[in-house]
Amino acid sequence: MQRDEARAPAGDTLFTGVRLLDPASGLDQPGELLIRHGRIADLGNKLGRPDGATVLDGDGAVLCPGLVDMRAALGEPGFEYRETIASAAAAAAAGGITTLAALPDTAPAVDDPAIARLLVARGLETGSLDILPYGAVTRGCRGEEMAELGLLREAGAVAFTDGARAIGPSRLMALALSYARGFGCRIVQHPEEPSLANGGAATSGELATRLGLPGIPAAAEAIMVARDIRLAKLTGGAIHFAHVSTAEALELIRRARHEGLSVTCDTAPPYFDLNETAIGNFRTYAKLSPPLRCEADRQAVAAALADGTIDAVASDHTPRDADDKRLPFAQASPGGSGLATLLAVTLAQVHGGGIGIAAAMALLTVRPARLLGSAAGTLARGAAADLCLFHPERAWQVQAGELPGKAQNTPFDGRALEGRVLGTWKNGRQVFGAAEGRI
């Protein structure tokens, strides 16, 4: 990316020589885009050069909306030794992410409206990231007593979930779906039947048996999905399944949609890029929740990206301290960092021919934005100038210990990728990129 020496008045920046890609409108063409006072003033061909504008030549790179990550744990409050909002914001900016939905299973949990408002405010303080808080379904995310969903909604909660804990009791889930429906919100479920998953460390099968690891049957996911689809039908509520990882669960979701039920889902990059063999010789960076699956399930998730069954790709960012992972595999904490690798691993599906780039970017921008009720994820005139500039073919290698942000527990350690973020803008201000001396 080349930058003219002339400096513009605040908010006046012209991108030239870029490929404008906006899945929300179907735009995909070479062109220019003008930022004025933090908003998209115009876009198209040969806009002209406003007096005094800063001109950025993208040299053919893709300019798209800032990415919208609909599922990430931030560590703060309570687990700042793993990640802070500031360090997560830095990693998000490096990954092209400008809007992020934060999970509520912190300490304390986001079961109090004051904590939800605090997360929104802390996001604004970073200057680079809008934080959309999830409200806890139950107090403390313990799965026992319902939280005050209405007050949480008023405080800015975009949906309700207990994060990495499944909502186990059927009656409790039915009540949650009914209440959330009244507030126009979804319940986001970690789809894993708790009694089947308890104590497990890897997907049940030959590999887990050979390694002597306690298994979690893949059916634990489909069992929970089937139950919650039935409860959604019973209550008229809206259910969203997070990080779906199995062919059986995806088929259940397809059937539910065919019936006209309000059922949506997302997945995360590990579940379409890796399979269970990535745990290798007890490689704890690849211990995730849900666990990595067999190759047939990985292929089914990749196919579901292409056929539209999956609504969004989320980072599923779960920061862990080194001491959380430097344990025997069965005792190590599950979870992988994912903010900086979200775009590039998704683009691997494009490079492999599984999905087109516009469809892939929709999974990272407008589709999650719509699920969250956010106005982000578009290049529309008048919209906030939240932008990501990336080169889809620029190669790099993931190296744990060298990623932006505090969390380094990436399951993609050593993975060669194509697709590099060149710059990120939030409300028209550059928060990552060459001009900032960071790449």
Quote the pLDDT of residue 12. 87
150 — phi, psi (to 5°)?
Answer: -65, -45
Indicate if the pLDDT at residue 1 is higher than 70.
Answer: no
Q: What is the mean pLDDT of the chain?
A: 95
Q: Is 6 helix (H, G, I), strand (E, B) or coil?
A: coil
Please tell me the predicted confidence (pLDDT) of residue 437. 35
Instruction: Output the CA–CA distances (angstroms, integers) from residue 9 to 6, 12, 159, 429, 433, in the order listed.
Output: 10, 6, 39, 12, 20
Q: What is the pLDDT of residue 48?
A: 83
Phi-psi category of residue 212: left, alpha or beta, with phi > 0 → left and psi -120 to 50 → alpha:
left
> What percent of the chain has a predicted confidence (pLDDT) above 70?
96
Read off the pLDDT of residues 297-347 as tens digits, 9 standing for 90 and up: 999 999 999 999 999 999 999 999 999 999 999 999 999 999 999 999 999
Predicted confidence band of residue 7 (pLDDT cuts 50, 70, 90) = very low
Residues 6 or more apart whose Cβ sits within 8 Å of residue 120: 131, 132, 133, 156
pLDDT of residue 167: 97
pLDDT at 438: 35
Residue 185: per-residue pLDDT:
96
Q: How confident is the model at residue 49 (pLDDT cuts 50, 70, 90)?
A: confident
pLDDT computed for residue 371 by the predictor? 98
- Tens digit of pLDDT for each residue in 132-188? 999 999 999 999 999 999 999 999 999 999 999 999 999 999 999 999 999 999 999
pLDDT in tens, 178-228: 999 999 999 999 999 999 999 999 999 999 999 999 999 999 999 999 999
User: What mean pLDDT is predicted for residues 64-85?
Assistant: 96
Task: Say how many C-beta atoms besides its own lie within 10 A of residue 258's C-beta.
Answer: 8
Confidence label for 242 from pLDDT (cuts 50, 70 and 90): very high
Catalytic center residues: 316
- The interaxial angle of helices 113-126 and 85-94, nearest 10 deg, is 50
What is this structure's pTM?
0.95
Domains of the chain: 2-64+384-436 (2.30.40.10), 66-372 (3.20.20.140)
- Is the CB of residue 13 less than 8 Å from the CB of residue 54? yes
C-alpha distances in Å from residue 301, one per residue of 111, 244, 246, 295: 32, 8, 7, 10
pLDDT at 317: 98
The better pLDDT of the pair 110, 49 is held by 110
- In which band, very low, low, confident or very high, does the pLDDT at 126 lie, cut at 50, 70 and 90? very high
Report d(CA 198, CA 200) in Å as an integer.
6
* CA-derived radius of gyration, the chain: 21
pLDDT (tens digit per residue) in 79-124? 999 999 999 999 999 999 999 999 999 999 999 999 999 999 999 9
- Of the pLDDT bands very low, low, confident and very high (cuts 50, 70, 90), residue 435 is low
> Is residue 8's pLDDT more than 50?
no
Judge whether residue 4 has pLDDT over 50.
no
- Does residue 421 carry a pLDDT above 70? yes
At residue 50, the pLDDT reads 85
Give the model's pLDDT for residue 11. 56
How far from the centroid of its chain's Cα atoms is residue 224's Cα?
Answer: 22
pLDDT digits (tens, 9 = 90+) for 359-399: 999 999 999 999 999 999 999 999 999 999 999 999 999 99
